Structure 1
Amino acid sequence: MFRTALRNVFAHKARLLMTVLAVMLGVAFVSGTLVFTNTISSALEKSSAKGFDHVDVALTPGSTKAEGDKVSKEVKLTDATLKKAGSVPGAASATGVVSGYAAVADQDGKLVGNGFSTKGGNYSGSAGKPDDRYPLAQGSAPHGKNQVALDSETAKRAGYKVGDQVRMSVDGPVLTPTLTGVFTTDDGNVAAGGSLALFDTATAQQLFHKPGAYDEIDVKAAAGTSQDQLKSQLDKALGSAAVDSETGQQLADDQAKSIATSMSSMKTMLLVFAGIALFVGIFIIANTFTMLVAQRTKELALLRAVGASRRQVTRSVLMEAFFVGAVAAVTGLAVGIGIGAGMRALMNGTGAVIPDGPLVISGGTVVSALVVGVLITMLAAWLPGRRAAKIPPVAAMNAVHAAPTTKSMVLRNTLGALVSAAGVAAVLAATTMSGDSGQAPMGLGAALLVIGVFILTPLLSRPLIAAAAPLMRAFGISGKLARLNSVRNPRRTAATASALMIGLTLITGLTVIAGSVQGAINKMAADSIKADYVVSMANGNPLSADVLKTLDKTDGVTATTGLTNSPSRVDGETEYLTGVNGRTIDQLAALTMDSGKFRVGGSDVVVDDKTAKDRGWKTGSAFTTTYEDGRKQELTVAGVYEGNEMMQGVLLDSATLNPHLADSAAATDMQVMVKMSGGATEANQDKLTKALGENPAIQVQDKQDISNQIAQIFTLMLNMLYGLLAMAVIVAVLGVINTLAMSVFERQQEIGMLRAIGIDRKGIKRMVRLESLVISLFGGVLGIGLGVFFGWAAGRLIGNAMSTYELILPWGRMGLFLALAAVVGILAALWPARRAARLNMLAAIKSE
């Protein structure tokens, strides 16, 4: 039987090629994902580990515990702490570290670096004693507020040389310090494409609002002192000051774990779509082996007649699958390694710089690729093999392939109806739930419904394909024959259409959800904001207090309010307060009131409906809050409003809140809302941008810009998913080609007869193409229908948390998806149609 299986593999090389390609693509995606993520993780881990070479123990500010009405406070690391840390037994030196956000613009005024990775810090060395952390490659260390040093990569990308003025910003006005030095660094953020700007310590403390304080103190151990021994000495000396300490090795290990965790989400997402491609490939493999078994009915029956058992016949088919899977897995692994290397090069090419490092091909990747390829193929071939074993020896006397019995079809349809009903019930039940509780039932219901529809596809194929009869009549006899051929073998048609159905289900569902969420965000911005513009930092950090002052003085500005966030304690629990300008907020925000009035001033506050419900507050309720500075005040709820993603929580007057901030002298806003005469126009936006010094770190956004920014993550994800799901569509195309090619082979005699009675080659080509078109459109209709249903159901779940959510059906895109299905069908039929038209009619009629 082993020799028989091997002979069959080599005898049907052309027929099995598409199956090998389908499995290979899935395996390549899996192995490519593993190679890519392992390579990046390894490079980032090694790069981050280098960043801790100069740190044996790192000290960071601890915090006092928040108990009762007390607000938690962060303990500051001061020069006294630095001096004390450097003098403990076993310490060779101690370096104070100051860090913050520093946006560096290039020569064209554009931000250099990657968002949050645009960092600033302090250069603690001097002319006689350089900073070991940042070896200078050119120039000298910065001194004073008008000097800065840049890392070599940033200086190169931005086009700066020593002596140039660097255009940059920390949190407010644009700074133009002179570049005095260029340094090298092993900082992982810089290696990954970020930027690092260094000032002298006093300047860095002033710029990052930490006068006389440090974010971290790095202590170097003396010779003969271990990191653990040094940590113990530091804890003994500084423990009472609530200072947290960690060894350099512990920091490196934590960083490695953090990188692994961040990469795991990307790896999971990529592997999910690799799984989808493999799942779609299962249909192709099962279809291929089903048809191969059907074409070899006589051969298998003769094997049974000469003594082969059912198990031997099944094993023969599984052996064929093993050989096919092994070839596909090895090929897919090789292609996957190339994909992993290519994805890394692509990321580097788009500016997302990845640290240098070797391509990582782990043993786990190799084993995963081989196991996945072989197991998937054998799993898909098991059912056809089992059917082959049931072929009775008497079938060797009959050239007609055994058709599915009525009993088997009834059982299949009954099972499909039950599974589909269970899936629909689970999805509908999930739509009534809220939050994360509905996600698991929704996923389970979606999986059951897809499986149920797949089981029912042979039953659904007849009425849906019959609906195309009027259109097919326009193509004469070729159209009629194509329609009849597409429903002749419902199981084969179902397996072929299902591969395309799954891909289009996902694409359509995601498009419906993304479009509806975008609409909800647009409506939210339009309904809740009266302001023409919202000004904020590009990285989400607080703005400088100078920004609000500058905007108030800008010509054309009629109203402004800053939004200042501050933690407080209410009834022993943390409650965040948002300070606003009580005199102008009603001109800048449009909030729907559930009760009371929108009145903010003095001790009057307004509260969103969720907070009011959780706290048991209503209009007229009074509560006592403890501010950051420890002082208490009784506040009164003047009204309850409908909260949303744009504005929520407790709103009170900035004049009431600001005196109680931890640093009331430098009160900072997370955002500033601006109203201008003439409304939101390009000229007004340019006026605000120029007034703020064309600062690369500050963004001035109108309502549409805000909507686009919030929805950007959905758009980016959707575009990525389109690219990934293209893999499933490619596999589906291979399935259609495979099915048609084998169908042509199976119907050689019939096609020869059609040619003999007068149908020309063009008619034969048209027949095969129309058959492919009908099957593809059938899969497309099912996929789009299921996608709309899932999009609606998921939208109901999202709508429970987003009040402005409404279902939006993207008719244009759905039409495009259906057209895509038609194109897939036409392209997939090119080779089978050409093959059918070139059949020798006499040889085909003679063939059995």
Structure 2
Amino acid sequence: MFRTALRNVLAHKARLLMTVLAVMLGVAFVSGTLVFTSTISDAYQNSSQKGFDNVDVAIQPKSSDSPSGAPGAAPRLDQKLLDAAARVPGAASATGTVSGFTAIADKHGKLIGDGFSTRGANLFPAKDGKDARYPMRDGVAPKAADQFALDAHTADRAGYKVGDTVRISVDGPVREQKLTGIFTTDDGTVAAGGSLALFDTPTAQKLFAAPGEFSGIDVKAAPGTSQGALKAALDKVLPKDSAETTTGKQLADDQADMIAKSMDDMKTVLLVFAGIALFVGVFIIANTFTMLVAQRTKELALMRAVGASRRQVTRSVLIEAFVVGAVAAAAGLAAGIGIGAGLRALMSGTGAKVPDGPLVVSPAAILTSLLVGIVVTVLAAWLPGRRAAKIPPVAAMNSVHATATTKSLVVRNTIGALFAGAGAAGVLVATGMEDGRAMMAAGAAVLLIGVFILTPLLSRPLIALAAPVLRTFGISGKLARQNAVRNPRRTAATASALMVGLTLITGLTVIAGSVQQSIDKMATASLKADYVVSMASRTPLSPDVAKKLDGLDEVTAASPLRNSPSRIAGGAEYLTGVNGKDFGKLTRLDFTEGSLGELGGERAVVDDATAKANGWKPGSRFPVTFEDGKKGALTVSGVYQGNEMIKGIILDNATLAPHQKHVTDMQVMVKMAGGASEASKDSLVKALGENPAISVQDKKDVSDGIAQIFSLMLNMLYGLLAMAVIVAVLGVINTLAMSVFERSQEIGMLRAIGLDRRGIKRMVRLESLVISLFGGVLGIGLGVFFGWAAGELIGGSLATYELVLPWGRIGIFLAMAALVGVLAALWPARRAARLNMLESIKAE
């Protein structure tokens, strides 16, 4: 039986090629994901560990349960603590560190680096005048407030040399600094495309902290002193209420764990889509083996007649599947390694630089890929093999088994209806739940399975709808329709592969389009301001920016938005400070109780969620502990409907600012005399010194900025789901090719009675088109339903959410399904037309 199974595999090489390709693509996606994430994770971990080579013990401010800077938070580390750490027995040296966001402009005024990886820090020279962490490649270390040093990656990228004057920004205002040195570094963020600027310590403290304060202290152990011993010695002398110690090894391990976790999220997303591709591949594999077994029914019956048991027949089919799966898995693993290397090169090519390191092919990736390929193929082939073994030999030889029994169809349709009903009910119930995500996911999966089971039943009426159109193609169209419904199970399995991919694509498109529309409405409804000014990195903005804008003649109203941590009713809450006089001119809040009035003194307005949680109404008075620890009380003057743009407790900056240690703004809202225009925007940009770190956005820019995230995610998902669609295309090709082989005698007879080659080609193409459109219609219908249901959940937290059906894209998806059908039929149609009619008629 083993030798027979192997001979069958070799005898049907062409027929099994599509199955091998389907499994290979799925496995390649899995192995490529594992190789890519392992390679990136390993490169970042090695790079980050280099950054801790000069750190044996790190001293950091003691962590607080309250938000950063909230009342009671620990102070920064000072010079006294640094000196104490340097004198501890076993300490060779102690380095004070301070850092923060620093934007570097290139020679064209554009921001270098990527958001939060654009950093500045301090140089801390040893007795020899050098900082071992940052060896100077060119020039010397900065020693004055108007000087700085730049990492070699950024300097080379921007074309800067020692002696150049560079425009930088830390919190908004532009600073012109002289470049005195260019240094090399193993910093992982720099290797990944970020930038690092270094200042002398007093300048860095003034920019990022306060004079004499550090954000951390790194202690180097003397020779013969272990990290553990040094940590114990430091713990004895440090104040336990304001500082804590961590060994360099622990920091490196924590960093490695954090990188691994971030890679795990990416890996999970990619593996989900690999799973979808494999799930679609299961339809193809099951379809292929069903057809192969059907074509070899008499052969299997003869084996049963000469003594083979049911188990041996099933086993022979599974051996074939094992061989196919093993070959596909090995090919998929090799392709996956190439995909992993290609994805890394693609990341580097798009500007997202990755630290250097080897391509990592872990034993887990190899084992997983082989197991996935073999197990998926064997499981998909088990049901056809078992079904073949149950056919009585005499019935098989007489082809009595060819048609499914009425009982089996009734059982299948009943089970499908129960699954579809239960799934639809689950989805509908989830739409009315406060957190129905788990219920909706489960219901959607059950509904999808139910529709798949019912697909043979649905195929006849839906394909019948295409009959009027097919009649226009004459006898070829009539035959195509009959062929499509002749074997509903085969048609269903072929269409289902395409249905799964289009369901996900359509659902995601509906959700993304609806969310985008709601964001546009929110920006329009909430803001009267013409522009919103903020840091490009979303870091705090200097209050000098708001003062400068407020002083411009063309600005009629301006208000900074400031966040300040506080304690209210025993919990941590952020207060939002605004310019009470102008806030009403810049926003359009929908008040459910009370009104905005003119904010000032102890008056505050709160969003409906916060008011409901605390039981507040207009006139309610509540105690508050401000950032500086001082206590006060605020009175609710109005309750408004909060949204993602504006929410929380809002009060006048004149009330909030005296309690803030460092006054910074998150953004500034601006209203212009001439409204929003290119001229108005240019005047603001010029007034702010054409600063690369500052973003000036109108309402459309704000909306587009949020939408860009959704568009990027959607495009990534389209790319990932394209794998499932490619596998589905292979499935259509596979089914048609094997169907042509199975119907070769019939095709020969059609040729003999006068149907020319062009008519045969047209028949096969139309059959493929009908099957693909059938899968496309089902997929789009389910996708719209799932998109609507998910939108009902989103609408609970997004007040402006409204279902938007992107008819243009839905039309494109349907056209794509038709194109799949046309392309998939090219080779099978050509093969059918070239069959020799006499040999085909004689074929068994």
Question: For residue 512 of structure 1, what is the aligned residue in structure 2?
Answer: 510
Question: For residue 582 of structure 1, what is the aligned residue in structure 2?
Answer: 580
Q: Which runs of 5+ in 1 are unaligned?
A: none
Normalised by the length of structure 1, the TM-score is 0.98
Question: For residue 101 of structure 1, what is the aligned residue in structure 2?
Answer: 101
> Aligned pair in 2 of structure 1 residues 64, 192: CA closer, same or farther (>3 Å)?
closer
> What SS does the aligned partner of 1:166 have?
strand
Question: For residue 713 of structure 2, what is the aligned residue in structure 1?
Answer: 717
Once the 2 structures are TM-superposed, how far is the Cα of residue 304 of structure 1 from its aligned partner? 0.7
**Distance in 2 separating the partners of 1:191 and 1:63:** 29
Letter in 2 for 1:622: R
> What SS does the aligned partner of 2:166 have?
coil
Judge which range, 125-134 or 421-430, deviates more. 125-134
**Distance in 2 separating the partners of 1:211 and 1:512:** 53
> Aligned pair in 2 of structure 1 residues 225, 259: CA closer, same or farther (>3 Å)?
same
Post-superposition CA distance 1:397-426 (Å, at most 9, x none): 425662111100000000000001110111
Judge which range, 690-699 or 568-577, deviates more. 568-577
**Distance in 1 separating the partners of 2:169 and 2:127:** 26
Once the 2 structures are TM-superposed, how far is the Cα of residue 628 of structure 1 from its aligned partner? 1.4
Q: Is the 8 A contact 2:103 2:168 kept in 1?
A: yes
Once the 2 structures are TM-superposed, how far is the Cα of residue 576 of structure 1 from its aligned partner? 1.3
2:827 is the alignment partner of 1:822: no
**Distance in 1 separating the partners of 2:739 and 2:713:** 39
Post-superposition CA distance 1:220-256 (Å, at most 9, x none): 1111111111111111111345202111000000000
> Aligned pair in 2 of structure 1 residues 795, 756: CA closer, same or farther (>3 Å)?
same
**1:117-516 to 2 correspondence within 5 Å?**
117-125=117-125, 128-399=128-399, 402-434=402-434, 437-516=435-514
Post-superposition CA distance 1:596-637 (Å, at most 9, x none): 111311111111100000011001111111111222222111
**Distance in 2 separating the partners of 1:763 and 1:64:** 78
Question: For residue 79 of structure 1, what is the aligned residue in structure 2?
Answer: 79
Post-superposition CA distance 1:285-319 (Å, at most 9, x none): 00000000000110011111111110000000000
Once the 2 structures are TM-superposed, how far is the Cα of residue 113 of structure 1 from its aligned partner? 1.1
Once the 2 structures are TM-superposed, how far is the Cα of residue 562 of structure 1 from its aligned partner? 0.6
Post-superposition CA distance 1:517-571 (Å, at most 9, x none): 0011111111011100111111221101111111112231110001111111222
**Distance in 2 separating the partners of 1:399 and 1:627:** 86
Once the 2 structures are TM-superposed, how far is the Cα of residue 731 of structure 1 from its aligned partner? 0.3
Size of the aligned set, in residue pairs, is: 842
Question: For residue 810 of structure 1, what is the aligned residue in structure 2?
Answer: 806
Q: Is the 8 A contact 2:62 2:242 kept in 1?
A: yes
> Aligned pair in 2 of structure 1 residues 65, 762: CA closer, same or farther (>3 Å)?
closer
Once the 2 structures are TM-superposed, how far is the Cα of residue 211 of structure 1 from its aligned partner? 2.1
2:668 is the alignment partner of 1:672: yes
**1:681-720 to 2 correspondence within 5 Å?**
681-720=677-716
Post-superposition CA distance 1:413-453 (Å, at most 9, x none): 0000000111011111111112xx31111110111011000
**Distance in 1 separating the partners of 2:452 and 2:37:** 33
Judge which range, 400-409 or 811-820, deviates more. 400-409
Q: Is the 8 A contact 2:72 2:629 kept in 1?
A: no
**Distance in 1 separating the partners of 2:276 and 2:321:** 20
Post-superposition CA distance 1:10-31 (Å, at most 9, x none): 0000000000000000000000
Once the 2 structures are TM-superposed, how far is the Cα of residue 825 of structure 1 from its aligned partner? 0.2
Q: Is the 8 A contact 1:71 1:628 kept in 2?
A: yes
Letter in 2 for 1:462: R
Query: Of 718, 737, 741, which aligns to 1:741?
Result: 737
**Distance in 1 separating the partners of 2:578 and 2:70:** 24
**Distance in 1 separating the partners of 2:201 and 2:587:** 41
Post-superposition CA distance 1:262-287 (Å, at most 9, x none): 00010000000000000000000000
Judge which range, 708-717 or 254-263, deviates more. 708-717
Q: Is the 8 A contact 1:65 1:72 kept in 2?
A: no
Post-superposition CA distance 1:88-126 (Å, at most 9, x none): 111111111010000111111111111110000011127
Question: For residue 541 of structure 2, what is the aligned residue in structure 1?
Answer: 543
**Distance in 2 separating the partners of 1:43 and 1:787:** 39
Judge which range, 376-385 or 174-183, deviates more. 174-183
**1:534-613 to 2 correspondence within 5 Å?**
534-599=532-597, 600-613=599-612
Question: For residue 633 of structure 1, what is the aligned residue in structure 2?
Answer: 632
Once the 2 structures are TM-superposed, how far is the Cα of residue 63 of structure 1 from its aligned partner? 5.3
Judge which range, 598-607 or 273-282, deviates more. 598-607
> What SS does the aligned partner of 2:457 have?
helix
Q: Is the 8 A contact 1:58 1:246 kept in 2?
A: yes
**Distance in 2 separating the partners of 1:70 and 1:197:** 29
Q: Which runs of 5+ in 2 are unaligned?
A: none
Post-superposition CA distance 1:362-412 (Å, at most 9, x none): 100000010000000001000000111012110354256621111000000
**Distance in 2 separating the partners of 1:679 and 1:413:** 63
> Aligned pair in 2 of structure 1 residues 65, 42: CA closer, same or farther (>3 Å)?
closer
2:779 is the alignment partner of 1:783: yes
Letter in 1 for 2:600: G
Normalised by the length of structure 2, the TM-score is 0.98
**Distance in 2 separating the partners of 1:241 and 1:234:** 14
Q: Is the 8 A contact 2:70 2:565 kept in 1?
A: no
Once the 2 structures are TM-superposed, how far is the Cα of residue 64 of structure 1 from its aligned partner? 6.3
Question: For residue 26 of structure 1, what is the aligned residue in structure 2?
Answer: 26
Q: Is the 8 A contact 2:107 2:158 kept in 1?
A: yes
Q: Is the 8 A contact 1:423 1:445 kept in 2?
A: yes
**Distance in 1 separating the partners of 2:226 and 2:622:** 53
2:831 is the alignment partner of 1:832: no
> Aligned pair in 2 of structure 1 residues 56, 280: CA closer, same or farther (>3 Å)?
same
**Distance in 2 separating the partners of 1:839 and 1:400:** 28
Post-superposition CA distance 1:747-789 (Å, at most 9, x none): 1111111111111100000000000000000000000000000
**Distance in 2 separating the partners of 1:114 and 1:63:** 28
Percent identity reads: 71
**Distance in 1 separating the partners of 2:574 and 2:586:** 21
Once the 2 structures are TM-superposed, how far is the Cα of residue 48 of structure 1 from its aligned partner? 0.3
